[in-house]
Amino acid sequence: MKVHRLILVIIISCFMVSWFPRVVFWKHIQPKNRTDIGNRLKNDSEKKLIVFAAEAKKFTKENGYNQQTVFFIEVGLPSGHNRFFIYNLKKDSVTDKGLVAHGNCYEYWLEGRKYSNVVGSGCTSLGKYKIGKSYIGKWGYSYKLHGLDSTNNKAYERTVVLHSHSCVPNEETDGEICQSNGCPTVSPDFLVRLKKIINTSKKSILLWIYE
């Protein structure tokens, strides 16, 4: 009987030892790690914006684009984070930002990131885009996109366009948002804000998608 009690005590002790560290780790370490990761992503993103903004200033001037406003999309960021940036090149500052979906490459759910310029791939294509004419299509009010680099020069042929969808929320979220078939897809409310800029611009606006 004593042997049975001793075995029972040992089993309970082992269970408590193995369970307790996990509870402490979850309560104290993981939230701190999530905060650190969030801060690191924000700092890295700001550094990238500075670099791409400098290149965009030169490109827009040399190619006759709007030299004040540029749209940047950093698809390397989690999709639940604001990663569509409206950037003022004159003031070197972000004037507005929102959520944007990336392509799922026609997978049920794309884990990680894949990029392609192939027709029918359903993937996001990295590179610079000229925002073209607006039209009413399958996804409602949309803008044609013209790829300007070798990595995205089939965008028009692929019907990769800037449009909105109700699956994209207005506010940031801890989870992932929906995925598209290659189009930079924003929320309906955010598209309204983009329309005011695009439709009143006398020169074409540059959209730059990067990781």
Q: Is residue 143 part of a domain?
A: yes
**Distance from C-alpha of 129 to C-alpha of 127, rounded to nearest angstrom:** 7
Q: Which helix (H) or strand (E) holds 16?
A: helix 2-24
Q: Is pLDDT of 23 > 70?
A: no
Q: Is residue 5 part of a domain?
A: no
Q: Is residue 29 part of a domain?
A: no
Question: CATH number of the domain that 146 lies in?
Answer: 2.40.440.10
pLDDT mean over 12-31: 33
Q: What is the mean pLDDT of the chain?
A: 87
The residue among 181, 193, 184, 192 whose CA lies nearest residue 100 is 184
Total-model pTM: 0.82
Which position has the token pair 């005011």?
Answer: 196
**Distance from C-alpha of 112 to C-alpha of 207, rounded to nearest angstrom:** 22
Q: Is residue 151 part of a domain?
A: yes
The residue among 122, 113, 124, 123 whose CA lies nearest residue 176 is 113
Q: Is residue 68 part of a domain?
A: yes
| Count of the separate structural domains present in the chain | 1
Q: Is residue 84 part of a domain?
A: yes
Domain assignment of residue 81, given as a range: 41-210
Do 127 and 152 contact (CB within 8 A), yes or no?
yes
What pLDDT does residue 42 have?
79
pLDDT band (50, 70, 90) for residue 32: very low
What pLDDT does residue 35 have?
53
Q: Is residue 197 part of a domain?
A: yes
Q: Is residue 16 part of a domain?
A: no
